[in-house]
Amino acid sequence: MNQADINSFDFESRINRRGTSCHKWDFDKRLTGREGLLPFWVADMDFRVAPVIEEALEKRLEHGIFGYTARPDSLDEALIGWFFRRHRWNIKTTQILETPGIVPFIHMFLQEFTSPGDSVIIQEPVYYPFRKAIMNNGRNAVVNHLIRDDNGLWAMDLDGLSRLIDESGAKTLIFCSPHNPVGRVWREQELLNLADLCRAKAVTVVSDEIHADLVHPGYRHIPWLSLPEERLPRSLALVSATKTFNIPGLTTAFAIVPDSDFRHSCQSMLTALGLGEGSSSPLSYAAAEAAWREGEPWLNALLGQIGRNDALLRERLTGELPGVLPGELEGSYLEWLHMDYPGNLWEKLLDEGIWLSRGIDFGRGGETYMRMNIACPSSQLEEGIDMMVRALSGFRSP
C-alpha cells in the first residue's frame, strides 16, 4: 500500500462523535465516573465510512419508504463474491443463514445446542462477550489459556486443550479467528491441528471471523471452513461486514453452515425465535451489499492507515515508554500492550484523560495488558500517546 492509495480516502479528519449516543464516546461518565475522556477502547473506528456505503444509503433514503424488507439475493451474491476474492473461500448460497448479530447468535446457539451446566471452551485472553454469553445462559466457561511460544507469539495450547476436553466433557469451542485481543492470524497448520483434535473428540467449533478482512501484509486469514472437509469437526463460521467497514450500527451478520443437517437445526432455532430472513433493516442490507461489492479500495487504503498508525505507536513507545510493549499486530486494529509498570495503570490513564480497555477483562493472561484501538486519525493517536507518556513517564519499569 503506497501513500497515494492511503490518501485516496480521508482517514485524517477528526469527526466529533459526541452527542450521537455513541457507545465509545458518550458514556464515559456512566462507565468510568469521568467525563471528557479520549477513548481507545470500543472496537469501532473513528473514520468516516467508505463513500460507496454513503452513496448506497443516500440512494435508499431517497426512496423514502422503509417497509418490511427481506434479504435480497444480491446481498448473498455480494457476500459470496467477497469471501472468494479476499480469502479463496467457496461459500454456497444454501449455506448462508441470516442472524441478528454474531454475539446474539452465540447466545442462541448455546441455548439450543448445549444444556444448563454444560462446559463450553474459550481460549483466554479472548473477546469477553464469549464468556458473558456462556455465563448468561447458565453454562460453565472452561478456559484453555493461550500460551507464548518460543518466539514470544501467542499460541494455542493443544495439549492443554486435549486434557481440558477430557476433564470437562465440553463439546463446544467458541473460537476467535483472527484472535481478539492478541492480534494473531492463525497459520494453516495451527488450524489443522485444532481441527484434528476437535474432530477426534467430537467438539463442535463456532468460529467468529468478524476480523477476517483486517489482516496486515505478510499474513493471510484462512477461513475455518476452507480447511479440508474430512479434517473438520461439526462447525459453523460467523461473518459480517460490520467490523471491516465500520458499520456496526447497521447490523448484519451471517452464519455459514455447510453441513445440511446442522444447518437445518440452526435454521429451526432461528425460526422458533422469529428470526432469520428479514431480521435486519433495509439500510443494513444496502450498506453491507455496497461494502462487499465496491468497498475493496477503501479497505486496502484503511489497512495502509492502520499500518502507519501501528508504526507511529511503536516508534513513540520505543523512544518514550519502553515499558509499554506492543505485540505483533498480525490482524485487526487492536494493539495488545504489555504494560510493564506497577500499580493500577488503567485508573492512572483515566486520570490523565485516556481510556483503554483493561486486559484483565479479557480473562486470565491479560492482567498486565491493555487493549488499544488505533483505528483513528493519526493526530488523535498522537494525542493519546502524549497522554500515556504524561501518565506513565514517572514510573520505572521493573
Domain boundaries in the chain? 3-51+296-392, 65-294
- Of 4-18, 77-91, 228-242, 262-276, least confident by mean pLDDT is 4-18
The model carries a pTM of 0.96
The mean pLDDT value for 44-71 works out to 97
3-state secondary structure of 288: helix
- Asked if the domains 3-51+296-392 and 65-294 are classified in one and the same CATH topology, the answer is no
Handedness of CA 232, 233, 234, 238 (dihedral sign): negative
Name the average pLDDT for the chain. 95
Q: What is the pLDDT of residues 131-174, one digit of tens each?
A: 999 999 999 999 999 999 888 899 999 999 999 999 999 999 99
CA angle 245, 130, 152 (to 5 degrees): 80
Encode pLDDT of 196-230 as tens digits: 999 999 999 999 999 999 999 999 999 999 999 99
pLDDT at 278: 75
The pLDDT assigned to 287 comes to 98
CATH class of 65-294: alpha beta
Q: Decide: residue 39, CB within 10 A, 0-12 exposed, 13-18 middle, 19+ buried.
A: buried
* CATH top class, domain 3-51+296-392: alpha beta
For residue 282, which amino acid is it?
Answer: P
All three cell numbers of 124, joined, read 483466554
Span 233-278, pLDDT tens digits: 999 999 999 999 999 999 999 999 999 999 999 999 999 999 867 7
In this structure, the strands spanning 334-339 and 324-326 are antiparallel
Torsion of CA 316, 321, 327, 329, to 10 degrees: -20
| Dihedral of the alpha carbons of 146, 314, 219, 379, in degrees to the nearest 10 | 120
In 3-state terms, what secondary structure has residue 297?
A: helix
**Under 8 Å between Cβ of 201 and 168:** no
Rounded distance, CA 12 to CA 173, Å? 40
Its sign, for the CA torsion 43, 244, 71, 271, is: negative
Collapsing DSSP to helix, strand or coil, 388 comes out as helix
